[in-house]
Amino acid sequence: MATAEHFMATDIEWDPTGRYVATSVTSVHEMENGFNIWSFNGKLLYRILKDHFFQFLWRPRPPCFLSLEKEEEIAKNLKKYSKKYKAEDQDVSMLLSEQDREKRKMLKDEWERWVSEWKRLHEEEKLERQRLRDGEASDEEEEYEAKEVKVEELLDISEEVLSFEFGQE
């Protein structure tokens, strides 16, 4: 599924579930000690560097709390359980997507209220803007006239008298 490299790796260990693999560099080497955790399809999930790293071990899986008969019953009725839990998952998914839709609708409504309030205030202040611009209606883009104004400001003047004689270099 993928090819990846762990420089100077000394050990490779699959986890008990088969979903993750760990590659490690133990302190046999002087540098790059630590371990990497990869997903089953080769994506690097964690990279941990540790000085004096000696061994990587997965935590053992706890014993199953189900009896052998119960495990067999579950395996026999797996399709029935799958349908039941798939329906429950769909219900939860529908509820979450409905909540997302409501949240997006609420945010959109809030935005539209803000925009309409801004437009209302802008319209109310139109006469004041016109008065400040000596009666010019400047809300229309075609009405704008760009003027470039250059301002020069003298910041500092200093005079220094230098003596200069012929023959000096």
- The per-residue pLDDT for 168 is 59
- In 10 A of CB 38, how many CB atoms? 20
- The per-residue pLDDT for 139 is 67
Whether 119 contacts 139, CB under 8 Å:
no
- The per-residue pLDDT for 103 is 92
DSSP H or E stretch at residue 48: strand 44-49
- The per-residue pLDDT for 165 is 77
Which long-range contacts (C-beta less than 8 Å, at least 24 apart) are formed by 48-55?
51/27, 52/27, 53/24, 53/25, 53/26, 53/27, 54/26, 54/27, 55/11, 55/24, 55/26
pLDDT average per 10 residues of sequence, the chain (169 residues): 81 90 87 90 92 89 87 89 88 88 93 94 86 74 74 87 72
**H-helix segments, 12-164:** 68-76, 78-124, 126-132
- The per-residue pLDDT for 121 is 92
Tokens of 75: 């395996």
Whether 77 contacts 83, CB under 8 Å:
no
- The per-residue pLDDT for 96 is 87
